Amino acid sequence: MREATTILVVQRRAWVLGLAICVAFFAMMHLTTGLLLRSHQEPIWTWAHGAFSLERVGNLPALFSILLVLLASLLFWILSRADRLPHGDASVRHRYWRLLALIFVLMALDETCRFHDHLDKLPLLGATKGAALRTIWMFVYAGLGFVLAVILLPFWWRLPSGFRWRYFWCAATYVAGALVLEVVGLWVFEARGSGSRLVLLLQTAEETLEMAAMVGVVGTHLKWLADSNSTLAIEIK
């Protein structure tokens, strides 16, 4: 068997710092262009906010968000092949890593196709008023998230303590943005309208927390791989 060629990509701290800078940049551009659009109703600011809005699809922030989720999924898959930490049963962890890789691919697909926007069109218990009451996707996704948490709880509990809490805070940060701030934002939107600066601030915080959680997941993955002395290798046959 020929020896595989090891490819050193970059220092993990550089990856995390670079991704964090991108998140901060997109959050700042979303907030700045949104404020300028609300103050000056001019075509240039309409275009700029559309180009950098964290709430829209088909622009650079949306592409970055999708690629960030896919990167986290790829690292889950790499963990399923390269996890060598002695703590616990690595073979059991490998199955859960692959499950999480699949889940993150589905999350990226949802970011791309916006399946939850189609769920928004379904009425909840016949409600006709209130943006939060009409947004059924939150209840559907919260239920799926709860089921997933129950399935993953034994796996999570057996992780090394440091990594266990790293993943916990990443998940808590994501839920805070994707569900908690989303609900608050919908109530404020219903009360004040889309032109409210508070709505813009909540949108910025919501999307920033989601992307920051993904950066945290990527950073935790890279630390796990570094601590287990794993290498990424390609063998050409």
CATH of the domain at 86: 1.20.1070
Q: What local confidence, expressed as pLDDT, does residue 119 receive?
A: 65
Q: What is the pLDDT of residues 184-206, one digit of tens each?
A: 888 888 888 777 899 999 999 99
Q: What local confidence, expressed as pLDDT, does residue 136 receive?
A: 73
Least confident among 43-52, 80-89, 203-212, 219-228: 80-89
Q: What is the pLDDT of residues 145-188, one digit of tens each?
A: 999 999 999 999 988 889 999 999 999 999 999 888 988 888 88
| Residue 184: closest CA among 147, 140, 135 | 135
**Is it the case that residue 135 has pLDDT exceeding 80?**
no
Q: What local confidence, expressed as pLDDT, does residue 90 receive?
A: 60
Say how many domains are in the chain: 1
Higher pLDDT, 232 or 9: 232
Question: Could you give the C-alpha distances from 79 to 57, 72, 138, 154, 231, in angstroms and in order?
Answer: 30, 10, 30, 18, 11
Rounded Cα–Cα distance for residues 84 and 62 (Å):
34
Q: What local confidence, expressed as pLDDT, does residue 28 receive?
A: 96
Question: What does R_g of the chain's alpha carbons equal in angstroms?
Answer: 20
**Is it the case that residue 236 has pLDDT exceeding 90?**
no
H helix or E strand, kind and range, residue 234? strand 233-234
What SS3 state is found at 6?
A: strand
| Residue 64: closest CA among 32, 119, 26 | 26
**Is it the case that residue 11 has pLDDT exceeding 80?**
no
This prediction has a pTM of 0.85
17, 29 contact by CB (below 8 A): no
pLDDT band at 103 (very low <50, low <70, confident <90, very high): very high
Mean per-residue pLDDT, 118-129: 54
* Domain boundaries, position 197: 5-234
Rounded Cα–Cα distance for residues 139 and 124 (Å):
10
Residue type, 177: G
pLDDT band at 88 (very low <50, low <70, confident <90, very high): low
pLDDT band at 85 (very low <50, low <70, confident <90, very high): low
